[in-house]
Structure formats: C-alpha cells, structure tokens
Amino acid sequence: MKAILIIADGLGGRPTDLGGATCLERAHTPNLDRLAAQGALGLMDPIRPGVRPGSDTSHLSIFGYDPFQVYTGRGAFEALGIGMEVRGGDVCFRANFATVEERDGELIVVDRRAGRLAEGKELEGAINGIDLSDLGVEFSFRASTEHRGALVLRGEDLSAAVSDTDPHETGVPIAQARALEESQAARRTAEILNAFTRRAYEVLKGHPVNRRRAEQEKPPGNALLLRGAAVMPHLTPVTEEYGVRGACIAGGALYKGVARAAGLEVLVVPGATGDLKTDLAAKAKAALDALSDYDFLFVHIKGPDNASHDRDAEAKKGFIERIDREFFGTLLGGLDLSRVHLCFSGDHTTPPATGEHTADPVPVLFCGPAIRPDRTDRFSERAAGEGGLGRFSGRLVPQLLSYCDFGPKFGA
C-alpha cells in the first residue's frame, strides 16, 4: 500500500473572497469532485481551533509534531530545506549577504541585500574557511538563492536566545548580537556571532568576487547579516516511527526542510518552481515515478498561497483549476486507487479577501480502500463541513500512514 499527501498551500478561503463563495467553491474541479465522491471529507484545524498558523508550524502539525513543543523559529527548517545537514540542538540563522562600509571602525550597512547578488555560491567557500576553533564551536554556512543563505552553529553550550545582527535598516552599524536571557549559553552564543561577523567581513572584503563587482560598479557582498535564531528540535523522523521510505516533492526550502526533518528524501523535479508558474504535470509525473520507489510521498504546491497573498481571487480560482486539471488529471491517470491512500488538503486558509493566513479550518479529502465513503460528491469548504470525517487538528500524515497499516501500535 502506498500513501500520497498533497498540500496546496493556503487552499482554504472565505465566503467574502469571490462573489459570496470561496475560490475553491467557485472553481471547476471535476477530478477532485470525483475523489470526494469516492472518498470522504472533513475539516482540519491545522494546529488547533483559533490558532493562526505559519507555514512551518502548520506543516509540523500536519506531520504529527506538536509545534507548541518543538517550534522555535523558521531558521532551522529553512537550513534543512536548502540541503544543509542540521542535527537536533544545532542553532540556525537565516543569513543575508549585505554591503557595508567601514567608518571609524564600525561596519555601516549600506545595502541589506548587496544588490541581490548572484555570486553567493562563490563566496560560500570563503565563509566556511573562517576559523572559529578558538571559540570551541563548529559552524557551516550555505548560500541559497540571490543574497540569501543559512548559518548553522553546532557545539556545547549554545542558545537561540540571541538578538539579530541584522539591524533591519540601512545607514546604521551591523547590530551587536546580545543575549536575550540570563544564561552563559546565550552570552557565549552572542560573542560567537559577533566574532563571526567581524571575521566574515575580513574574508569577504578583499574577495575576488567583490573586487570584480567593484569593477562592475556593483555593491560588494562584504558582510553577512544574521537573523531569526532557532534551535533545531530533536524530532523522531516519521519514516522511522512508521517504518516507511518517504520522499518529498516541493519547491520551497521551508517545506523541504520540514520534510527532511520528518525523514523524507527531497526529490528534484525540473520545472517545479514553488510559484504560480510551476509545472504541475511534471510534479504529478514525478510523483507517479516516486510512488514506485517510496511508501509515502509528500507533494507541496505553493501556488494558491501566492495568489492569496496577492489578494487575487481569480488567480487563486484559476490555479486551483490548474491543480485539478494538470496535477490530478495527470496523477489519476497513472494511479491505482485500490493500492494507494491519498490525502489532499491545505496547510491553512489564506483568503484573498484578507491576503493573510487565517485560523479558519481547511477542507480535507481522504481517498483509498480503507476510507469509509461519505455522501459528499464535491470538494469544497462547505462540503467538508458536511463530510464524514468530522473536524480534527492536524496529524494528516499519521492518519494517512495508519490507513495504509504502517506504523506501531501504542500499547498492547
């Protein structure tokens, strides 16, 4: 038996979105409606009723983790998502290449994104060549897209209770990291960050990449700004708990990061961009391929959330129709529904009418041989309110894997 979870980010909506109905209600979704008729619907509070979810916390909850227990910040999962090796207890930061000018011994931030430079990968080696062994800490840096990257600190006696070195404005010095709690670990971590910041400037300022950028009259990437300290929690991988091989198809680093923390391998799908231009048929074909190699597949589709944040209800409706036609049309053509359990939902509601994540419950569809069919024959928020699965909080992955008879019994 195989399991596939498809999350359409920000799928849920409100009646104020599009002429008295949600985008999903207005969308023509014959494939999803057919799955609804075969399976059963329900409503999910991604975290719990009345909690407005982030994308990271909601995905943790959907995978069966309690974000109130394990979540300390987005940085840890982003570092994992860009492919870094991150262990439980590591302290992670989001990082930006920036342009600074040295004035009276201070490093004044001139451009927080160093002109959105494209040479992050070329600068990565210089950063990783910095020696912090005198401070008794290991670290690793990785550049990702444009000026972005992530820093991971590893060692004894570290803390995420430290302030950002990113001043979040220009014309001011790089901020000194400060301890945000009265602990030796926090004070020590702040000192490490301040030393790292100074040494990063030393290796970056004369770097050939920056000499070349100077010749091109582009701002140099001569500093790294750090923000969003977060400890990587110690999570038991879902794959280990349920004894499955799992994989993930996603565009965004964050979703890959949560998937990796849950034990899933990240598959690369050309054309899967994590935005409205993504190749949904390519994702579906890759999913069908992967299902021959893995027990459990998690597919993340970002588009509906992008359209919702743009407050573009028509674009959201249109993208939902594309998911139905291009993704499900392709997927269902190659799927034997007698041997697969499928779950489709969102990670939260993002109504175009508000343009923000909201706490409203999201519709959930389960389909497969173990699912007791209900009377619904349409996939929408209102149909989900009448669905046979009722209302529950998160935990889609544990439910899906359990329908497939993976996983341990709790108790005897």
Residues that bind a second copy (CB under 8 A): 14-16, 22, 40, 42-43, 45, 47-58, 64, 67, 71, 73-74, 351, 354, 356-361, 369-375, 381-382, 385-393, 395, 397-403, 405, 407-412
Q: Return d(Cα 250, Cα 10) in angstroms, integer.
A: 15
Q: Which residues contact 153 (CB under 8 A, 6 or more apart)?
A: 90, 91, 92, 93, 137, 138, 139, 189, 192
C-beta separation of 382 from 26 below 8 A: no
Nearer to a second copy, 43 or 126 (CB): 43
- Using DSSP's 3-state secondary structure scheme, residue 204 falls into helix
Radius of gyration of the chain measured on its C-alpha atoms:
23
Q: Return d(Cα 161, Cα 168) in angstroms, integer.
A: 18
Nearer to a second copy, 172 or 370 (CB): 370
Nearer to a second copy, 6 or 137 (CB): 6
CB of 130 to a second copy, least distance (A): 28
Q: What sign does the CA torsion over 61, 64, 70, 72 have?
A: negative
Q: Return d(Cα 300, Cα 183) in angstroms, integer.
A: 39
CB of 408 to a second copy, least distance (A): 7
CB of 410 to a second copy, least distance (A): 5
Q: Return d(Cα 246, Cα 37) in angstroms, integer.
A: 28
CB of 384 to a second copy, least distance (A): 8
Token readout for 356 is 């923000």
C-beta separation of 31 from 23 below 8 A: no
Nearer to a second copy, 195 or 359 (CB): 359
Nearer to a second copy, 129 or 355 (CB): 355
CB of 385 to a second copy, least distance (A): 3
Q: Return d(Cα 103, Cα 40) in angstroms, integer.
A: 65
C-beta separation of 247 from 263 below 8 A: no
Nearer to a second copy, 137 or 297 (CB): 297
CB of 286 to a second copy, least distance (A): 26
Nearer to a second copy, 222 or 358 (CB): 358
Q: Which of 308, 318, 117 is nearest to 218 (CA)?
A: 117
> Between β-strands 91-103 and 148-154, what pairing exists: parallel, antiparallel or unpaired?
antiparallel
Nearer to a second copy, 99 or 306 (CB): 306
Q: Give exposure, 356-383, as e/b (b: 16+ Cβ within 10 Å).
A: ebbebbbbbbbbbeebeebebebbbbbb
- Using DSSP's 3-state secondary structure scheme, residue 228 falls into strand
CB of 409 to a second copy, least distance (A): 5
Nearer to a second copy, 162 or 254 (CB): 254
CB of 358 to a second copy, least distance (A): 6
CB of 206 to a second copy, least distance (A): 35
